[in-house]
Structure 1
Amino acid sequence: MALEEPEKPKWGGQTSAKLKGSKEQEVWPLLADFCNMDKWFPGLHTCYQVGGVPGQPGLVRYCERGTDETTILWAKEKLLMIDPINQCMTYEIVDNNMGFESYVATMQLVPINNHGCKIEW
């Protein structure tokens, strides 16, 4: 009889950023451009396409940031789902040097009572 490995505990978390005065239809093109996250995410030095078709599931991006002059953190992330109607996307980290295993994230734009929107991550 084979021994079953105990299931690893899963961690979950959520964060959000309010964008006062910005409508979802103004923000969605920035969020949906999967390979240009370095243009709006603080601390991310570079983000570019390494595989797949832009705007389609299967697209893979490479992201890199430095914590100091000698430490570079990087990840390759694969777009799993993108939904322009509900303004959300899901991606997973497929390779990295930060120790992430089985990381899957969803980002969605949510309206805030005619005062802008927020990104839920």
Structure 2
Amino acid sequence: MAAEEDVIELKWEGKVIAKLNKATPQEVWLLLEDFCSFHKWLPTIDTCYKVVDDDDEGLVRYCAATTPAPSGGGGGGVVKWCHEKLLDVDPVGMRLSYEVLDNNMGLKSYRSTIKVVPAGVINGGDEGTDGCQIEWSFLADPIDGLSYDEMVNYLDVSLQGMALNMEKALLDSSLMEKKYSS
């Protein structure tokens, strides 16, 4: 039997997917490519803004959310935050990758890629197919107090909410354009 120090903890790796039936891949990418605007789409984030953007450190954003205080605990809740660095942006492939640098949520190592995939690619090359999907993949160290399934569920719920918010915003802007172009 191996000694405790010889045990290697495996990384968590996973992917969640959200389908958008009415939005084009280009419309969704225009919303996603702004790395510092995730608070507009992701229902679990209260704020997201640029903290660093230079040649040495690259683009780093601050994201935060307030979780309710435990019942009977009083106060306004707990602020969960992280600093995330943009690693790569591929506008042609409609993909961006980032990593968490610092946080108070128990993340030791976390890298993620968010990609927009046209429905035609998903459906075997049928270019006339409407819609797209967002794929959010991650590679992370296990998180104390959280199971892998809880992590995937959190990301899935977050992504489904993000997709819903994006489709609603795109539909609202489309309706406004029609109203004022008539």
Same fold (TM > 0.5) = yes
Calculate the TM-score normalised by the size of structure 2.
0.60
Hey, what does 1:88 align to over in structure 2? 95
Q: For structure 1, which runs of at least 5 residues remain unmatched after alignment?
A: none
TM-align CA RMSD: 1.6
Which letter maps to 2:64?
A: E
Higher strand content, 1 or 2: 1
The 5 Å alignment of 1:1-121 reads 6-52=7-53, 58-68=58-68, 69-113=76-120, 114-121=129-136
For 1:65 and 1:39, the matched residues in 2 are separated by 13
* Post-superposition CA distance 1:4-50 (Å, at most 9, x none): 86433111111111111101111111100000000111121000000
Runs of 4+ in 1 over 2 A off after TM superposition: 4-8
TM-score normalised over the length of structure 1:
0.88
Give the letter aligned to residue 10 of structure 2: P
Could you say if the C-alpha distance between residues 5 and 62 of structure 1 is closer, same or farther in structure 2, counting changes exceeding 3 Å?
A: farther
The sequence identity of aligned pairs, in percent, is 47
Structure 2 CA distance for aligned equivalents of residues 79 and 7 of structure 1? 28
Structure label with greater radius of gyration: 2
Between 1 and 2, higher relative CO (CA 8 Å, sep ≥ 6) is seen in 2
1:5 and 1:60, CA in 2 relative to 1: closer, same or farther beyond 3 A?
farther
Residues matched between the structures, number: 115
Superposed displacement of residue 96, structure 1: 0.3
Inter-partner Cα distance in structure 2 for 1:35 and 1:49: 6
Higher normalized helix content (fraction of residues): 2
